[in-house]
Amino acid sequence: MKSNFAFHAMLKRPRSARGFSLMELMIVVAIIGVLAGIAVPSYQEYNRKANRSSAQQVMLSIVQREEQYLLDARAYTAALNNTGLNIVQDGWTCSAASCVNSFYTVTVAVTAGTPPSYTVSAVPKPGYQASDGTLTITSAGLRARSAGNGKW
């Protein structure tokens, strides 16, 4: 008898107390969709900048090691592993020819002569980071980016 009474009491409640209408739910879903449409591109750009910053850190580490190597050996080297500059960076795998991660390949090109010089390049891998362009820094300290606003 009690359960029958509870059921009839629920039926007598006002309509607004029973839950959400389909229209209200659709409005909430639309608002969430608009917010996601604004947030996702912003988040992707944030990740792209973070990946670029990681490549720049490796490049600056190479520049610093190249200057130390010049003082010791009177020449620059293109070897990035333990036979040359011994570059070790979290998230990067360095061999004699290059340092790579999921987004960039960093290499060093050495030019012999008087005075010797080098160019460190970070080439983005195809896909997500490709629109970022190639990052370069020279032994003279000139920095460039081939895409975007050109700023390093």
DSSP 14: -
Give CATH for domain 21-145: 3.30.700
**Of the candidates 75, 53, 85, 59, which has an alpha carbon nearest to the alpha carbon of residue 137?**
59
Query: Would you say residue 130 has pLDDT above 90?
Result: no
Whether 66 and 77 have beta carbons less than 8 Å apart is answered as yes
Q: What is the pLDDT of residues 82-108, one digit of tens each?
A: 889 999 999 999 999 999 999 999 999
- pLDDT band at residue 128, thresholds of 50, 70 and 90? confident
Whether 117 and 76 have beta carbons less than 8 Å apart is answered as yes
Query: Would you say residue 1 has pLDDT above 60?
Result: no
Q: What is the pLDDT of residues 135-151, one digit of tens each?
A: 999 999 999 999 877 67
